[in-house]
Amino acid sequence: MPGARRFGRYGSLVRKVELYYWSGIQGRGEFVRLVLEDLGLPYRDVARESDDGDEAIEKALAGVLAPYAFAVPALRDGELIIPQTVAITRYLGERHGLAPADERGRLLAHAVALTIADLVAEVHDTHHPLSVVDYFEDQKPAARARAKAFREHRLPKFLAYLEGMLGRDPFLFGDRASYADLAAFQVVEGLTFAFPRAMARHRDDIPRLLALRDRIAERPRLATYLASARRLPFNEWGIFRHYPELDR
């Protein structure tokens, strides 16, 4: 884990920010972790570093994060509290050089990140189509129907959109990576875990997107993070879950 304090790329002293997210899953918090790790910013992963674990998140939502955050992830940077995944990653990216420099590029990166967030929500709803409070096992018939529609109609559209955003440049917005590129990496990794058969059928349709995935994984700080114990494996408690009956 990076040290508590260091001098940042702009010469100013960087304080240790706090990430609030659940301890046992990647979930939406992983999109934020990837940005923090890639930037080499010092941060405290509150639930993972607290004796209270996830109880610390519940306490924070009722305390320090209220009334700003409806849910986690949330980021605390001094007196500033930022909820919502895309808002956090945009804040970090634009503040620390992981975003396009021009206004058009910044707006487009935001739009791409929001579209990926829409995709993540649809992935979640394949295994919880009726209710988030009931187990997957209690809604299997609806989940099979929802997953079929996702695989056949929605997944190809989202993949085609991301593939189309990539031109001849190595990244979405030129020759420098952005937080949106990191989000694209994470969603491809998650989809490959959750729907390996469906993703294999689209492999030849998304060569640029897969190349971007590989390029992001090779970034030095991210490669170190991805090989570490801090990078939790995907599991059947997070957003990206592999249920064979949903991946036909």
Residues 77, 11 share a domain? yes
| Same domain membership, residue 107 and residue 92 | no
Task: Return the pLDDT at 166.
Answer: 96
Query: Are 73 and 130 in a shared domain?
Result: no
Q: Are residues 13 and 84 in the same domain?
A: yes
Same-domain check for residues 142 and 184 = yes
- Could you give phi then psi for residue 171, rounded to 5 degrees? -130, 175
Compute the average pLDDT of residues 142-153: 98
Per-residue pLDDT at 14? 56
| CATH code of residue 205 | 1.20.1050.10
pLDDT band at 3, cuts 50/70/90?
A: very low
- Regarding whether 107 and 214 lie in a shared domain, the answer is yes
Q: Is residue 240 part of a domain?
A: no
Q: 213 and 131 in one domain?
A: yes
The tally of domains found in the chain comes to: 2
Residues near 81 by Cβ (< 8 Å), separated by ≥ 6? 64, 65, 68, 69, 74, 75
Angstrom distances, CA of residue 181 to CA of 23, 42, 63, 186, 233: 24, 21, 33, 9, 20
Least confident range from 5-14, 50-59, 172-181, 233-242: namely 5-14
Residues spanned by the domain of 65? 6-96
Averaged pLDDT, 169-173: 97
- My answer on whether 65 and 166 are in the same domain is no
Residue 229 CB-density burial (10 A; 0-12 exposed, 13-18 middle, 19+ buried):
exposed
172 lies in a domain? yes
| 118 and 203 share one domain | yes
Domain assignment of residue 18, yes or no: yes
Residues in the chain: 248
Judge if 87 and 15 occupy the same domain: yes
Residue 2 pLDDT > 60: no
Taking the C-alpha atoms of residue 6 and residue 32, their distance in angstroms, rounded to an integer, is 20
Domain with residue 21: its CATH number is 3.40.30.10
> What confidence tens digit (pLDDT) does each residue in 71-113 have?
999 999 999 999 999 999 999 999 999 999 999 999 999 999 9
Is the pTM above the cut of 0.85?
yes
Give the chain's mean pLDDT: 94
CA distance 241 to 126: 9
Q: Of 73, 96, 119, which marks where a domain is finished?
A: 96
Q: Judge whether 130 lies within some domain.
A: yes
Asked if residue 10 has pLDDT above 50, the reply is: no
pLDDT at 8: 40
Mean pLDDT of the 144-167 span: 98
Return the minimum-mean-pLDDT range out of 1-15, 67-81, 151-165, 193-207.
1-15
* 182 belongs to a structural domain: yes
Confidence of residue 15 (pLDDT cuts 50, 70, 90): confident
Angstrom distance (rounded) from CA 219 to CA 204? 24
Residues 170 and 92 in one domain: no
Q: Is the pLDDT of residue 12 over 90?
A: no
Q: Does 88 lie in the same domain as 107?
A: no
- pLDDT higher than 60, residue 117: yes
